[in-house]
Structure 1
Amino acid sequence: MKTILSASVVAMAMTMPVLATDIGLRSAYGVQDNPWSRPYIGLVGGVGSGDLTLSADDSFGNSISGSQTFGGLSGGIRLGYDHVVSENVLVGGRGELNLTNIASRNELSVGGTTIGTVEHNLDWLAVLGARIGMTDRNMLYYAHAGAAFGGVSSTIDGNDIPGLIDNPRLGYSVGIGAEYAIGEHATLVTEYSYTDFAKFDLYNEAGITVSDDLSFHRIVTGVNFRF
């Protein structure tokens, strides 16, 4: 009986790796047989929310400022390449381009009289960066960072404000995320990022400077197709 039991245990131990391979739940994918080391294209969409701080300064040292809530939706495409440098450590580079309606809306009043509704819109958002992560079975956990680019336009009652259309912005984006491999060529992704475009001068004439400072949080989900 002991001989039969021992033989059964050995047989089970030999077949477990094969079964694990079949269902895609190995403890760690190898460098050459994992779904991560390859280029990919992805589709993502999500929601963003943050603050837009407006400030005005004059040559006499006077200054006023105020903050507005900044939020909306975004959606876009990603291109990237990942490489597993050891059994579990992954590094990669990627770029993405999003269209957004992330915006702030506020009524502009002078002396108690409403002049109109001012809107500041983030029309598009692009990020070029890198990430580093750890794979665990079908999961990838990672941190990411990169340069962020955006175009902000301002309107009053839907009418463009001259000189404040598609102002290019430069900042940074950092965050964390996770991906789940649903097969060799597809992964589901959920990601958080914080983006900061820092202070930008909207107007600077006659000793008066009007600036804004835009930062926001964004949560996205999507799918990556690897090939």
Structure 2
Amino acid sequence: MLQLKKPFAKLIERSRTAANSTDHLAGVKQMKKYLLGTIAALSLSAFASTSHAADLMDYPVEYDWAGIYGGGHLGYVGLYPNPSAPGLVQADAEGVMYGFQVGYNMPVSSGFLVGLEADWSGMGVHETAPCTNPAFTCRSGADWGASVRARIGMTMDNVLLYGTGGVAFLNYSGNTTALAGPTVFADEDILVGWTAGAGVEWGLSHSISLGLEGRYSDFGSATLNYDIPYGVDPEMVTVKASINFKLGDWLK
């Protein structure tokens, strides 16, 4: 029995070694399968990402102009009172305008849109000149203007070219002041007229656009009562740069 122990022990040891070798080979095969499966999954994922990127390049998303927007503007204003009689002095005035606008764009077909915009501008442009009567100085100008306009435009991706026109409002004011004393004859009125112009707008990002616009406005005839009635026919020219934010995106 003692002599049989060593061969039996060796047999048992060989069996264990063989079993361990079999387990090792099975583990290696399992690892190979795992690695091959991972490589295949990564390859499919990379191929899908590349195909998706190619699709985006082949079919770019067109810039979306539709929706509600709002923003601010800064620009130049020229006001021309055009007195109705040679003896009435109302000097031209120029200055800076600033304000805000809100509007809505609605595409009507591929490459075209219609919209509505309202704006308000502070300007504070006034000019003083000697009156025909040298005992007085004449001052004229405007503190603010506003408009409600339609816009009709043509889009080329993120560029919008448009024409605009509508109703305009102007807070026209003036006075005559006696040089000999503090006597001031002042009057003001909110004039209503029409305005028309054109502009260009560039989509800087999905939610922000920059614009440049020029307009002419005519406010018809009006009479202001200073020391005597002053008839005027004001006209105004504006050029402004603007920035707009799509409010629908901000409210989401």
Partner of 2:66: 37
> Please, what is the CA RMSD of the aligned residues?
3.0
- 1:68: Cα distance to partner? 3.5
1:149 paired with 2:169, answer: yes
Distance of aligned partners of 1:161 and 1:149 in 2 relative to their CA distance in 1, 3 Å threshold: farther
What is the Cα deviation at residue 116 of structure 1? Answer: 4.2
The answer as to 2:113 corresponding to 1:90 is yes
Output the amino acid matched with 2:107: V
Q: Greater CA radius of gyration, 1 or 2?
A: 2
1:157 Cα deviation after fit: 5.5
SS in 2 for 1:15: helix
Report the alpha carbon displacement of residue 163 of structure 1 after superposing the two structures with TM.
Answer: 5.4
Correspondence for 1:201: 223
1:60 — aligned with what? none
Deviation at 1:64, TM superposition (A): 5.1
Contact 1:154 1:160 in 2 (8 A): no
Question: In structure 2, do the counterparts of structure 1 residues 15 and 211 end up closer, same or farther at CA, with 3 Å as the change threshold?
Answer: same
**Residue number among 115, 122, 137 corresponding to 2:157 in the alignment:** 137
Matches within 5 A, 1:1-227: 15=54, 18=57, 21=60, 29=62, 34-56=63-85, 68-110=91-133, 114-156=134-176, 161-162=184-185, 164-165=187-188, 167-203=189-225, 210-227=230-247
Q: Distance in 1 between matches of 2:110 and 2:241?
A: 26
Secondary structure, aligned partner of 2:96: strand
Judged with a 3 Å threshold, the aligned counterparts in structure 2 of structure 1 residues 204 and 44 are, in CA distance, closer, same or farther, namely closer
Partner deviation per Cα, 1:126-178 (whole Å, 9 max, x = no partner): 1011100000121000000010011111134697955513x110001100000
8 A contact 2:90–2:139 mirrored in 1? no
Identify which of structures 1 and 2 has the higher relative contact order when contacts are C-alpha pairs closer than 8 Å and 6+ apart: 1
Kindly indicate which of the two structures has a greater share of residues assigned to helix.
2
Partner of 1:54, secondary structure, is coil
Structure 1's 225 and 157: CA in aligned 2 closer, same or farther, altered over 3 A? farther
Offset of 1:66 from its aligned partner? Answer: 6.3
Aligned residue type for 2:140: H
Is this contact kept in 1: 2:175–2:186, CA < 8 A? no
The Cα shift of 1:17 comes to 5.4
Identity percentage over the alignment? Answer: 24
Distance (Å, rounded) in 2 between the aligned partners of 1:148 and 1:109 = 31
Displacement of 1:185: 0.4
In structure 2, stretches of 5+ residues that fail to align are: 1-49, 248-252
Tell me the TM-score normalized by structure 2: 0.68
Whole-angstrom CA distance in 1 between matches of 2:183 and 2:64: 47
Cross-structure match for 1:7: none
TM-score by length of 1: 0.75
Deviation of the 1:47 alpha carbon: 0.5
